[in-house]
A and B are shown apart, each in its own frame.
Chain A
């Protein structure tokens, strides 16, 4: 692979990761926490209504996890393409 092709393949893979992770980001906050909040609120876990819990707790935990997953994926990708500095 030339450097150019390498950079292109790397970028494509990166975009794929972004697509997947941002879909989860959208799902836990906008879908679970806002759009479907009433439906999820009919389910209760302990003292929490599920939709309310996603809006005030769950989405934040998932955000943290998403970033750390991305860090891992990218570190591995950087190594694979020999692009780590």
Chain B
């Protein structure tokens, strides 16, 4: 009941905002007319960035991997430092609509533009499919509708406000969605922190002690040792792999087109820097709470189920068992739940995605808190999906149709094309949400590797190295993305002879390989460019011009 009310209320709010702030020009549709206040843009960026994966998945992932989960925490926040210092101000000064715009103009080549468009489409589609699935999951668990119906409801909502409102509409909807999602994330975290440690601030709570006077982390390390898991506060991954995965996620974050484009929406260069700062502050609130939730949830779960009689389990356990996300198999027939590291003796499998959703139930919080979490998860999934759909539609209507296929298209025609491509993109995304291919889960993490291997070096060199020319940039992007795709297919999909962990190059997993591919991209770009002609005087002037902040006007195209 509570769930329907809260979800209904928030959805009405999102649609209301979209109608109020709908877009009437391409400038408004792509970049909200470049008039967004930096704090509003920071809020919108945070909502855009924090997807179903951050809201639902991340704390659960950390909960099950302990220290190893740090790669996501550092990787997905550290990227904003790169964005604020190395990309956002210069791209805003450049003043166009999309990332392929920058690549195409800076490298005076439509081929480079097309390569960039393809990279943007690959990255965005893998990402958006995961969001739709998240929407379906929440609907099916909390509103008792079929998972496919859930996806379709989500599709209609996103369709409505992304197509109508464009960037202007989704910016203000995302501001509202941030408020909903952060409130929904913090309320149960604070409750549980008080319950377990008496400290209302979760960030401090998980470093304090419980009623028995033992530090929570020490207790958890002890439980882990007892059950045969690696200690919670130390990792199981190799150091080099942790290093490379963190780097790939950081650089990938800075190269994601739906994040970069948010910095095109503010008025001036200094505002672009400011919004990156605000965005990271708003993101950090959730990202510093998530590891606390992970610890609370892990301790709670082990203490609730380990060695307990199966017919005495609490209600939430049975609820999730019916969805198939918790499985129990009484291997030694003693009627008790053995949860241990040894797979031949372990009797319990818990899907780590349910930890955030089940956490309030495990801690016996009131029903409205559980409803709030559902509404928050939907806000997180919908805001990210909308941002991605906009990137996809802009890539098609602006970068492909306007810039390459039919440059004479009128603004009205382009706006119609933009809306139509958003519709098509929603339908494809919805289809992936209903029929998720096996590789979606695997590729979402790899989307960062792809972004790191392709865009990042081309953009950085385009700003910081005046001598970089189109031959170098294209060769770099093509080598980078092909190398990354090759490694990913070899070790994830078993193509090109496949291979196991023992065959990884330098012991680096496919998730961390984006860093290697990025380095190769840098080296190839620099070597090739030094053997080919310098870019023209005009192009070098573009570079000099984006390096100084003054004179960033409106979008320079219309």
State how many angstroms separate the Cβ of B92 from the closest Cβ of chain A.
10
Decide if B548 touches A64 in the complex (CB within 8 Å).
no
A residues less than 8 Å from B86 (CB atoms): 18
B273 contacts the other chain (Cβ, under 8 Å)? yes
The chain B residue with its CB closest to the CB of A75 is: B270
What is the bound-complex CA distance between A68 and B273, given in angstroms?
9
A5 at the interface (CB under 8 A from B): no
* Cβ–Cβ < 8 Å partners of B375 in chain A: none
Question: B70 to chain A: which residues have CB within 8 Å?
Answer: 33-34, 52, 55-56
Who on chain B is nearest to A78 by CB? B549
Most chain B beta-carbon neighbours within 10 Å: one of A47, A52, A59 = A47
Residue of A nearest to B551 (CB): A85
Residue of B nearest to A10 (CB): B548
Residues of chain B lying within 8 A (CB to CB) of residue A14 = 547
Q: Are B243 and A66 in contact (CB under 8 A)?
A: no
Contacts of B550 in A (CB 8 A): 78, 82-85
B57 to chain A, nearest CB (A): 16
Residues of A within 8 A of B209 (CB): 47
- The interface residues of chain A, by DSSP majority, are classed as helix
Dominant SS among interface residues on chain B: helix
Cβ A34 vs Cβ B80 within 8 A = no
Chain B residues whose C-beta falls within 8 Å of the C-beta of A70 in the assembled complex: 84-85, 273, 277
The count of residues in chain B whose C-beta lies closer than 8 Å to any C-beta of chain A is: 51
A71 CB-CB contact with B under 8 Å:
yes
Known: A60-B287, A67-B280. A29 touches B80 (CB 8 A): no
Determine if B73 and A35 form an interchain contact, defined as CB atoms under 8 angstroms apart: no
Contact check: which of A30, A64, A82 meets B281 at CB < 8 Å?
A: A64
Check: B317 CB closer than 8 A to any chain A CB: no
In the bound complex, residues from chain B placing their C-beta under 8 Å from that of A57 are 203, 288, 291
Which of B124-132, B211-219, B299-307, B479-487 is found at the contact surface with chain A?
A: B211-219
Q: B residues within 8 A CB of A66?
A: 81, 85
B406 at the interface (CB under 8 A from A): no
Report the minimal beta-carbon distance from B79 to chain A, rounded to whole angstroms: 9
Residues of A within 8 A of B544 (CB): 7
User: Would you call A25 and B78 a contact (CB within 8 A)?
Assistant: yes
Closest to B38 in A: A71
Q: Mark B475-518, 1 if CB is under 8 A from A, else 0.
A: 00000000000000000000000000000000000000000000
6 CB < 8 A contacts A-B? A29-B74, A33-B70, A37-B67, A60-B287, A63-B77, A78-B550
Seed contacts A21-B81, A29-B78; 17 additional CB < 8 Å A-B pairs? A10-B547, A29-B246, A34-B239, A47-B206, A47-B218, A49-B217, A55-B70, A57-B288, A59-B77, A60-B77, A63-B284, A67-B80, A67-B276, A67-B280, A71-B274, A85-B268, A85-B551
Chain A residues with a Cβ under 8 A of chain B = 7, 10-11, 14, 18, 21-22, 25, 29-30, 33-35, 37-38, 41, 45-49, 52-53, 55-57, 59-61, 63-64, 66-68, 70-71, 74-75, 78, 82-85
